Amino acid sequence: MAVIVIDHLPADEAPLRCPSGWDRLVELADSRYRIRPIRPMDAPLYPYFLRMVSEDDLRLRYLSTSKPFSPERIMKLTQIDFERDVACVATDEPSGQLAGVVRYGGQPDRQGAEFAILARSDLHGIELGRELLLQLSSYARAHGIRRIYGLVRRDNVPTFALASSLGFVSRSHRDDHTLVDVAKELIGRSAAAVTGRTMSDRMLEVQP
């Protein structure tokens, strides 16, 4: 595995502290995964994770051919200002390898946040995507974000299945007919009311 060295940032550029209380263990397809906020120490996990993601999935995630994942880019992906943005990972237990990532960039007024999600291609279909998006939606709601939305390629069947089963509504993109906006209002509706299920269905343990 390639080793990525993370330089220490000057104090005024250091990422804010990882939020606590958003760490849980779930069991999916006889394996255990920890769902938790991303942290800078996750950077060395990225090269293996990315090797396990197909080119097609990367294109679906980035809506284009992805730029190379330089150590600097990976550093940016893992050093999050949790005041504005959020990223959560699923890691395999006990190996600690990265299995999936979900993130959003918030708007300063907290009206909405755009999410993006990526799971390892060899682990699709075991509901990792569902657990990650549920975690992100719960986090966003708890932090006063009113609406969570994403831009999805029209042929991205798995993401539509995932989003619609979690109560997201799809609408054709205004300018680009190859894209669809999926969005969910978070304030005033609970995920459980929409999905009939809660994150705790598969939760084994919550870390303080």
Ligand X SMILES: CC(C)(COP(=O)(O)OP(=O)(O)OC[C@H]1O[C@@H](n2cnc3c(N)ncnc32)[C@H](O)[C@@H]1OP(=O)(O)O)[C@@H](O)C(=O)NCCC(=O)NCCS
Give the full edge-to-edge strand order of the sheet including 147-153: 169-172, 179-185, 147-153, 113-119, 98-106, 85-93, 31-37, 23-28, 203-207
Give 1 or 161: the residue with its C-beta nearer to ligand X: 161
Please report whether residue 173 would count as binding ligand X according to CB under 6 A.
Answer: no
Give 14 or 161: the residue with its C-beta nearer to ligand X: 161
**Cβ 151 to ligand X, closest distance in Å?**
7
DSSP 20-77: SS-EEEEEETTEEEEEEE--GGGGGGHHHHHHTS-HHHHHHHHSSSPPP--HHHHHHH
For 127: left if phi > 0, alpha if psi spans -120 to 50, otherwise beta; the answer is: left
- Is 110 exposed, middle or buried (CB count within 10 Å of its CB: 0-12, 13-18, 19+)? middle
Question: Reduced to 3 states, what is the DSSP secondary structure of residue 108?
Answer: coil
How many residues lie near ligand X (CB under 6 A)? 23
Give the Cα separation of 108 and 125 in Å (integer): 34
Candidates 26, 38, 60, 191; binder of ligand X (CB under 6 A) is 60
- Residue showing the smallest CB distance to ligand X in the complex: 129
**Cβ 122 to ligand X, closest distance in Å?**
10
Q: Evaluate whether 117 touches 144 at the Cβ level (below 8 Å).
A: no
**Cβ 208 to ligand X, closest distance in Å?**
27
The site string for ligand X over 113-142 (x = CB under 6 A, - otherwise) reads: ---xxxx----xxxxxxx------------
**Cβ 166 to ligand X, closest distance in Å?**
8
| Residue located via tokens 């800078």 | 40
Candidates 31, 165, 170, 198; binder of ligand X (CB under 6 A) is 165
Give the Cα separation of 179 and 172 in Å (integer): 7
Candidates 36, 61, 184, 202; binder of ligand X (CB under 6 A) is 61
Please report whether residue 180 would count as binding ligand X according to CB under 6 A.
Answer: no
Give 14 or 157: the residue with its C-beta nearer to ligand X: 157
List the structure tokens of 99. Answer: 């299995």
Binding segment toward ligand X, per CB under 6 A, in 1-9, 35-43, 148-156, 185-193:
148-156
- Contacts with ligand X by CB under 6 A lie at 57, 60-61, 116-119, 124-130, 150, 152, 156-159, 161-162, 165
